[in-house]
């Protein structure tokens, strides 16, 4: 029995009513196409200034844990990782999470140590063919294509240079033609110019909006992207893009790691002004605990908790799990990311002084979806846990809870229990709250009870 992919349901809801709170979260687990040895992220075993990175085996175990948690809607991978997890292990077969494959790797993401490709004008390049992205081989049979990946990321970078940008558009055209022939779905990443001085900094937002509109004006529905991935340039330019064509469904990329508050505030602000998708890569991969970080992203997107409260609660999780945070709570509550308001290109937003819980019970339900929490067995002592056959115990980063605490969904998932069963609110078919049909009083009652449940108040 096939499991419904949350991405498909949410895209339908957004297209039916753009004012819905429905929000798509993606974990971009494709840094190995860019960063080389340091792509898997900092190992939790680092000490002081000693540089140590995870191995690919540890990195892929993190992906398994994220998929089993089932809080994100998409996991984006490189073709080599997708081959192992999608095709060999069939990890996504009984999961609501949609696998996606990066289909190109333009030269501005060739970030080798000692190189300067990242500041040279971007040139088109594709390592995998589309068939390799779909079924991990040169030519897919219809059966292999049906069981393979049917979502990809295509990335373009405009640099305000007619010849270079024409080459970028030509490569994109060739990809679109191939994708349409194979009925392959994709989302479009539009990077800011990567050449210093290519455009006035104050004009980057409008330049990108105009280039998106111009690029897609000649693309018919059969070949258009499902949604966009781009830098968040602030409220003004996000609202302009949504107003121009709501069918575009803009999404924001997470960018550099920054503070925890940077990530949480970015999500809340982008959603407030019209984004309906967020793709976080380094911010998740470099967090102290990826599953807790993702859980709070989901709670912010669902309106359960504010970014300010989420930072404090996240530090509470780290404290309960005895994980040393990279920053103090005060440092981690600072906003270092610009473009968060209409006022200027940079803005400083101090953390709120509103009281919130500073500890968080390290129960398994904070790291699981409602579906998993409803079907999860009673927690077992760590010593009794069985290590998944795909990775040895030493391959699991210590900052990630043991897989026994995050059971994989069964092949035929049981119906999810209502998140809050004792208040009368409208619900979706799977039992989760239907925020669009709630009255203000119902939303208040649900949020209060959910807050009390989460914090143990």
CATH of the domain at 33: 3.20.20.70
In a domain, residue 49? The reply is yes
Cα-based angle 279, 280, 284 (whole degrees, multiple of 5): 155
Q: By C-alpha distance, which of 372, 248, 232 is closest to 298?
A: 372
* Positions of the chain with pLDDT lower than 50, given as ranges: 341-364, 368-421, 454-457
**Please, what sign has the CA dihedral across residues 25, 85, 91, 15?**
positive
pLDDT tens readout for residues 161-184: 999 999 999 999 999 999 999 999
pLDDT the model gives residue 437? 74
In a domain, residue 38? The reply is yes
In a domain, residue 33? The reply is yes
Q: Is 454 exposed, middle or buried (0-12, 13-18, 19+ CB in 10 A)?
A: buried
In a domain, residue 74? The reply is yes
In a domain, residue 375? The reply is no
pLDDT tens readout for residues 100-148: 999 999 999 999 999 999 999 999 999 999 999 999 999 999 999 999 9
Question: What are 175's two structure tokens?
Answer: 């990809």
* Phi, psi dihedrals of residue 402, rounded to the nearest 5°: -55, 140
In a domain, residue 46? The reply is yes
pLDDT the model gives residue 428? 75
In a domain, residue 311? The reply is no
Count up the domains in the chain and report the number.
1
Domain span at 21: 6-304
In a domain, residue 343? The reply is no
């Amino acid at each position: 029995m096939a499991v419904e992919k949350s991405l498909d349901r949410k895209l339908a809801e957004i297209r039916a009513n753009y004012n819905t709170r429905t929000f798509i979260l993606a974990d971009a687990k494709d840094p190995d196409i860019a960063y080389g040895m340091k792509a898997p992220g900092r190992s939790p075993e680092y000490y002081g200034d000693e540089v140590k990175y995870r191995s690919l085996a540890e990195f892929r175990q993190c992906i398994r844990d994220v998929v089993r948690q089932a809080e994100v809607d998409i996991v984006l991978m490189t073709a080599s990782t997708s081959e192992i997890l999608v095709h060999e292990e069939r990890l996504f077969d009984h999961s609501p999470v949609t696998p996606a494959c990066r289909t190109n790797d333009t030269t501005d993401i060739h970030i080798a140590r000692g190189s300067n490709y990242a500041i040279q004008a971007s040139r088109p390049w594709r390592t995998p063919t589309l068939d390799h992205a779909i079924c991990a081989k040169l030519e897919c049979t219809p059966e292999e294509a049906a069981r393979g990946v049917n979502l990809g990321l295509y990335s373009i970078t405009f640099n305000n240079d007619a010849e270079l940008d024409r080459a970028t558009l030509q490569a994109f055209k060739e990809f679109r033609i191939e994708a349409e022939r194979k009925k392959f779905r994709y989302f479009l990443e539009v990077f800011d110019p990567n050449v210093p001085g290519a455009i006035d900094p104050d004009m980057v937002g409008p330049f990108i909006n105009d280039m998106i509109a111009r690029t897609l004006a000649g693309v018919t529905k059969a070949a258009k992207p499902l949604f966009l991935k781009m830098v968040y340039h602030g409220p003004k330019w996000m609202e302009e893009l949504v107003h121009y064509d709501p069918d575009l469904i803009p999404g924001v990329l997470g960018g550099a790691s920054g503070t925890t508050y940077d990530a949480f505030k970015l999500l809340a602000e982008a959603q407030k002004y019209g984004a309906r998708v967020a793709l976080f890569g380094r911010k998740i991969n470099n967090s102290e605990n990826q599953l807790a970080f993702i859980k709070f992203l989901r709670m912010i997107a669902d309106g359960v908790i504010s970014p300010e409260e989420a930072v404090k609660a996240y530090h509470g999780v780290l404290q309960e799990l005895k994980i040393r945070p990279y920053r103090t709570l005060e440092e981690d509550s600072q906003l270092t990311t610009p473009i968060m308001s209409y006022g200027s290109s940079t803005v400083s937003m101090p953390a709120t002084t509103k009281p919130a819980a500073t500890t968080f019970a390290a129960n398994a339900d904070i790291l699981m979806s409602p579906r998993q929490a409803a079907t999860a067995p009673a927690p077992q002592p760590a010593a009794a846990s069985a290590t998944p056959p795909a990775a040895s115990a030493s391959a699991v980063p210590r900052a990630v809870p043991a897989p026994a605490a995050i059971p994989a969904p069964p092949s035929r998932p049981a119906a999810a229990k209502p998140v809050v069963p004792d208040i009368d609110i409208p619900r979706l078919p799977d039992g989760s709250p239907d925020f669009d049909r709630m009255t203000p009083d119902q939303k208040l009652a649900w949020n209060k009870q959910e807050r009390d449940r989460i914090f143990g108040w």
